[in-house]
Amino acid sequence: MLRFVKRSESNRRIKIGTRVIAVILALLVSAIFILLINKDPILVYSAIVKGSFGTSYKFQQTIIKTIPIILTSLGVAVAFKMQFWNIGAEGQLMMGALFSSYFALNFSHLSKPLLLLIMALAGMLGGGLWALIPALLKARWKTNETIVTLMMNYIALKIVTYLQYGPWKDPKALGFPKIPNFTQNALLPSVGKIHIGWIIALVLIVVMYIFMTKTKKGYEIAVLGESEKTALYAGINIKKTIISALFISGALCGLAGMIQVSGVSKTLSVDISGGVGYTAIIVSWLSNLSAPIIGVVSLLFAALLQGGNYIQIAYQIPDAAALILQAMILFFVLGCEFFSRYRVTFKGSNRTKINKTSLTEAEEGNMNG
């Protein structure tokens, strides 16, 4: 009864429309789940909004959660634009946090501006180098980047775990596995009761938009993502583009790690990422890899996380409910990609009949000829 016909071209309006429909369907399906646990979906959804924006404190917490999502999503978007499936933002964030923490713990005698600058550069270097490993493997041996980047998340986690329970363990913590807190010199200053990471995030949204749409390197990344053969024909160095793009991708994630340890947790721990790297994958896809839209979608997802914490207390709903909603959104967004590339037609439609009639007339004309 149904036929799936490939679209001649998938414009921006179709992509955005399918994503909006995907989110609506995800909310509807999640509402069924909420009903199954004997809760009112409307009240729960309104409580999520209240828990995210109801007071100035809640709004501040939502912004704090938005910052790392924006940075990691921008990083993931660079790789995805090239169709390099970087699933390793979680590990890159953690390595960025580790590199910056080294300087925070060992060079606290430096002046605050200098130390923070060194920590930021170290964080970007740590995340960038961690992303270079799968990039080099992909460029040299065509390895599967999805598997490599995913596995490297666990390696990064184990490295931080080893440091927290071993060499970097605070001797003053009475045996508790904890890395020492940073000194004031290593902490980000606040602007409007929120650390300056929100200013950095806004600046990077503008910078990455210009980079991806107005620069030669951004053009090369986009062309390589569309077709490797076209990139070769255009004279683009494939290996160099892969390596440079992945370093930028990892550096942005590493900077997010630096901001988390310096502005939020004030120390390094195994819980520093909080699943931000995986959330960034959903945000990037929903945003169609556009930097300005990433800023908006990141705020909405941060509100979902902050509101999820609130409904646990207000309605005795487990945190898994918010995670299920995220999973539903990801599931439907991935599914909507099919409909942004194909359109559904009925086999008995007029267009099909017209095509059959035209074919029959052409065959008769050939026979008569």
Strand partners, 194: 191
Count of other CB atoms within 10 angstroms of residue 193: 10
Question: Cβ distance 297 to 283 under 8 Å?
Answer: yes
Strand partners, 358: none
Measured CA to CA in angstroms, residue 254 lies from 74, 97, 310 at distances of 12, 7, 29
> What's the distance, Cα to Cα, between the start and end of the chain in Å?
35
CB-side exposure of 30: number of CA atoms within 13 Å? 24
Question: Cβ distance 332 to 22 under 8 Å?
Answer: yes
Residue-by-residue pLDDT tens, the chain, 369 positions: 677 777 766 667 777 788 888 888 888 988 898 888 888 889 888 988 999 999 999 999 999 999 999 999 999 999 999 999 999 999 999 999 999 999 999 999 999 999 999 999 999 999 999 999 999 999 889 899 999 999 999 999 999 999 999 999 999 888 889 999 999 999 999 998 899 999 999 999 999 999 999 999 999 999 999 888 999 998 999 999 999 999 999 999 999 999 999 999 999 999 998 889 999 998 998 888 999 999 999 999 999 888 888 888 887 777 677 677 777 877 887 777 777 777 777 765 554 444 444 444 544 555 454
Residue 99: is it exposed, middle or buried by C-beta count within 10 angstroms (0-12/13-18/19+)? buried
| 0.95 exceeded by pTM | no
Count of other CB atoms within 10 angstroms of residue 57: 9
Cα–Cα distance between 93 and 68 in angstroms, integer? 9
Per-domain residue ranges of the chain:
70-288
